[in-house]
Structure 1
Amino acid sequence: MKLTAQEHELLKLHYAWPAPYPKLVQLLENKYGHEYLLNLSQKQRTILNKKLAQLSPLPLLEMLLEKGIIPIPYTHPDYPDQLKQLIDPPAVLYAKGNPGLLKKTNKVAIIGSRKAGDYSICAMDMIVPPLVQHDSVIVSGLAKGADTMAHQAAIKYGGQTIAVLGHGFFHLYPKENAELATTIAKEHLLITEYPPYHAPAKWTFPMRNRIISGLSSTLVITESAVKSGTMSTIEHALDHGKEVFAVPGPIDSPLSLGPNKLLDEGARPIWNGFQIVETLVES
Structure 2
Amino acid sequence: MKELNTDRKIVLLRLLHTMSPSLLYKWWKEDSTLSLTPQSFHPLSILSNGKTKVGELSYELERKFPILQQTLADIKSSGIEAIPISSDEYPLWLKSIHDPPPVLFAKGKKEIMHHHPLIGIVGTRHPSPYGVKAVRSLVRDLTEEGIVIVSGLAKGIDGLAHQTAIQAGGSTIGVIAGGFHHIYPKENHQLASQMAESHLLLSEHPPYETPQKWQFPLRNRIISGLSKGIVVIQGREKSGSLITAYQALEQGREVFAVPGPIFDPCSLGPFKLIQEGAKLVVSKQDVMEELRISPVHYWEHS
**Shorter-chain TM-score above 0.5:** yes
Partner of 1:42: none
1:159-238 equivalent positions in 2, closer than 5 A:
159-238=170-249
- Displacement of 1:77: 0.9
Q: Is 1:107 the counterpart of 2:118 in the alignment?
A: yes
| Structure 1 segment 90-169 matched on structure 2, within 5 A | 90-169=101-180
Give the equivalent residue in structure 2 for 1:79: 90
Unaligned runs of 5+ in 2: 29-33, 38-43, 295-302
Relative contact order (C-alpha < 8 Å, sep 6+): which is higher? 1
Take 1:184 and 1:62, find their aligned partners in 2: how far apart are those partners? 22
Q: Which amino acid aligns with 1:107?
A: L
Runs of 4+ in 1 over 6 A off after TM superposition: 27-34
d(CA) in 1 for partners of 2:168, 2:132: 13
Counterpart of 1:13 in structure 2 is 12
Equivalent in the alignment of 1:251: 262
Measured after TM superposition, the shift of residue 263 of structure 1 is 1.1
SS in 1 for 2:243: helix
> Deviation digits for residues 8-31 of structure 1, max 9, x if unmatched?
222123456765865446597779
- CA contact 1:18–1:194 (8 Å) conserved in 2: no
User: Any conservation in 2 of the 1:10–1:73 contact (CA below 8 Å)?
Assistant: yes
Counterpart-to-counterpart distance in 2, 1:273 and 1:130: 6
Aligned with residue 56 of structure 1, among 45, 66, 85: 66
The answer on whether the counterparts of 1:16 and 1:52 sit within 8 Å (CA) in structure 2 is no
CA distance in 2, matches of 1:237, 1:120: 22
Using the TM superposition, give the Cα deviation of residue 85 of structure 1 relative to its aligned residue in structure 2, in angstroms: 1.4
- 8 A contact 1:126–1:273 mirrored in 2: no
Q: How far apart are 1:279 and its partner, in Å? A: 3.2
Quick check: 2:230–2:245 contact (8 Å CA) kept in 1? Answer: yes
Task: Give, in whole Å, the separation in 2 of the partners of 1:59 and 1:71.
Answer: 13
Give 1:241 deviation, angstroms: 2.3
What SS does structure 2 have at the residue aligned with 1:224?
coil
Task: Indicate how the Cα distance of structure 1 residues 282 and 196 shifts in structure 2: closer, same or farther if over 3 A, else same.
Answer: closer
Please give the alpha-carbon distance, in whole angstroms, between the structure 1 residues aligned to 2:154 and 2:23.
28
- The SS at the match of 1:191 is strand
Q: Distance in 2 between matches of 1:163 and 1:192?
A: 9
Asked if 1:264 corresponds to 2:275, the answer is: yes
Distance in 1 (alpha carbons) for counterparts of 2:203 and 2:117 = 20
| Mapped partners of 1:14, 1:24: distance in 2 | 8
Q: Could you say what secondary structure the match of 1:56 adopts?
A: helix
| 1:274 partner letter | Q
CA deviation string 1:21-54 (max 9, x = no partner): 65446597779999249xxxxxxx9xxx6x9745
Deviations 1:87-120 (A, max 9, x none): 1111110000001011111000000011223222
For residue 276 of structure 1, what is the amino acid of its counterpart? Answer: V
3-state SS of 1:5 partner: coil
Q: Distance in 2 between matches of 1:11 and 1:87?
A: 19
Q: Assess if the C-alpha contact under 8 Å between 2:231 and 2:257 holds in 1.
A: yes
Alignment RMSD, CA only? Answer: 2.6
- SS of the equivalent of 2:201 reads strand
Task: Give the counterpart of 2:51 among 22, 32, 35.
Answer: 35
Q: 1:196 to 1:29 in 2, by over 3 A?
A: same
Q: How many residues align?
A: 269
Q: 1:93 to 1:17 in 2, by over 3 A?
A: same
Shift of 1:86: 1.5
- Aligned residue for 2:256, secondary structure, equals strand
The offset of 1:59, in angstroms, is 4.8
The CA deviation at 1:129 is 2.1
Change (3 A) 1:24 1:208: same
The answer to whether the Cα contact below 8 Å between 2:237 and 2:268 also exists between their aligned partners in 1 is: yes
